Amino acid sequence: MREMSYLSTNPYKGTRDFFPAEKRLQSWMFQKIRNVVSGFGYLEYDGPLFEPFELYAAKSGEELVSQQLYSLKDKGDRHIAARPEMTPTLARMVASRINEEPRPVRWFSIPNCWRYERPQRGRLREFWQLNVDVLGGERRFGDAELIQLAVEIFRAFGGEKFLEIRVNSRSLVDHVFRSEMGLSEVQARAVAKLLDAKDKMKPEEFTGRLAEQGLGASQLGILEKFFATSLETLATDFPGEASAEIVALFATLEKLGVTSTVRFDPKIMRGLDYYTGVVFEAFDVSPENNRALFGGGRYDNLLGLFSKNELSGTGFGLGDVTLQNFLETHGLLPNFESFYDLYCVCADEAAWFAVQRELPAWREAGLRVLMPLALGSFKSQFKEADRFKAPYTLVVGEEELKSGDWVLKDMRSGEQTKLRASELLSRLVVKGSQKS
């Protein structure tokens, strides 16, 4: 009755299977992140994978909605989509509790997201993304806290020395483009888009495309001056509220000891439609990787879709694939110990049941114990223990059962120790950090 053609065992294109080793690695990354973020008082939230289509149609950018969304109509004719990003869900949830939730709202989530993309290095159709957001509070404190928190995450992995966070401000760019250069809104948007794509062009092409937008010599001069300005000259070069805000943010970061990993970079643009204040993008500055790692910024109108309540916040997103590539590149992934602590070699059923009586206490103490499910020879059971890479075996044969002296064998050194069942726990000290 079996089908003649078998189904493929591959996962759907652009997605990953998490076998136990991969799952352990991902859990390890996420747990480290959770520890850091929780230390800053951020609380984890989560939402449904499917959301109403309109949630994305309104805000998520055209490419994402028209080309990358996994959407369907349910049997009640509701148009829904698998989330391509978490921010719309965050906005919906915060909007629904806007009068109850104490502020500042400090929330994070590590959802899986779906985008129909051409799979390539660092880009998959299903990925997990850490989202951290702070809503409310003074801008410079909130912005600084998020940047500091991001650095702390990388420090927890031992990777902060490869990290550089380039910071700019959307309102500063606005001020320079509109007030100083006198660009129209359309021009400003076009120039910003060009800047985002600048690295993919030759310098002549870039200048040519700017000229196409109708920028004159004096406007190009201002743009050049803007790109050449530094944190020290910014306030005198482009005086105003926007530059004062950036200067204040960097002063705050400096007093927080976040200095080597951040720098002002007027060329950072990041999704101009979305952000309204500080924007930042983090890079791996090592020559081996040299990739964008994460980005974020301040938005002033998160809840606009749901109510007229205004709430300003800052957020960033960090993808699991990007982070894992980064850690791999720099050799920052751990060498995991065995999945298990102990394998029990049992001569016969009497031994098997005798060991079983001890197991609840050992498991309660955190030991991960494998019992054979078939009572083959000692040799076959030791083989199995080897296949599972068990660091220790407990050997209970007829003789051990009679004497009550069981044998603990260190599978690496081969060393064997006699012990009573009651002594086992004190021998196999459980290290919490070994656990996946």
Residues 197-256 that bind its own copies (CB under 8 A): 255-256
Return phi, psi of residue 184, to 5°. -75, 170
Taking the complex as a whole, how short is the minimal distance between the CB of residue 430 and its own copies, in angstroms? Answer: 11
| Closest to its own copies by CB, 6 or 413 | 6
Identify whether 104 is preceded by a cis peptide bond (ω within 30 of 0).
Answer: yes
| Closest to its own copies by CB, 218 or 377 | 377
Which residues in 265-284 are b (16+ Cβ under 10 Å) and which e? bbebbbebeebbbbbbbbbb
| Closest to its own copies by CB, 229 or 381 | 381
Q: Angle of helix 185-196 relative to helix 203-212, nearest 10 degrees? A: 170
20, 203, 287, 414: which one binds its own copies (CB under 8 A): 20
Return phi, psi of residue 251, to 5°. -65, -40
62, 236, 257, 335: which one binds its own copies (CB under 8 A): 257
Q: Is the alpha carbon torsion for 327, 329, 332, 333 positive or negative?
A: positive
Stretch that binds its own copies, among 63-71, 264-272, 283-291, 396-404 (CB under 8 A): 63-71
- 286-315 footprint of its own copies as x/- string (CB under 8 A): ------------------xxxxx-------
202, 379, 387, 412: which one binds its own copies (CB under 8 A): 387
345: helix, coil or strand?
Answer: strand
Does 274 engage in binding with its own copies (CB under 8 A)?
no
Interface size with its own copies, residues (CB under 8 A): 102
Site for its own copies in 79-108 (CB under 8 A): 80, 82, 92-93, 95-97, 102, 104, 106-107
| Closest to its own copies by CB, 135 or 222 | 135
Maximum Cα interatomic distance, the chain, rounded to a whole number of Å: 97
Q: How far is 324 from 25, CA to CA, in rounded Å?
A: 9
- 330-369 footprint of its own copies as x/- string (CB under 8 A): ---------xx------------x--xx--x-xxx-xxxx
Site for its own copies in 116-155 (CB under 8 A): 116, 126, 134, 136-138, 141-142, 145, 152
Q: How far is 223 from 326, CA to CA, in rounded Å?
A: 34
Q: Angle of helix 20-39 relative to helix 320-329, nearest 10 degrees? A: 100
Stretch that binds its own copies, among 13-21, 175-183, 225-233, 395-403 (CB under 8 A): 13-21
Does 28 engage in binding with its own copies (CB under 8 A)?
no
C-alpha angle 433-435-436 in degrees, rounded to nearest 5:
115
Does 325 engage in binding with its own copies (CB under 8 A)?
no
* Residue 249 near residue 143 (C-beta atoms within 8 A): yes
Taking the complex as a whole, how short is the minimal distance between the CB of residue 377 and its own copies, in angstroms? Answer: 15
Q: Angle of helix 217-228 relative to helix 203-212, nearest 10 degrees? A: 130
Using CA atoms, how far residue 36 sits from 41, 102, 189, 432, in Å, is 9, 21, 37, 17
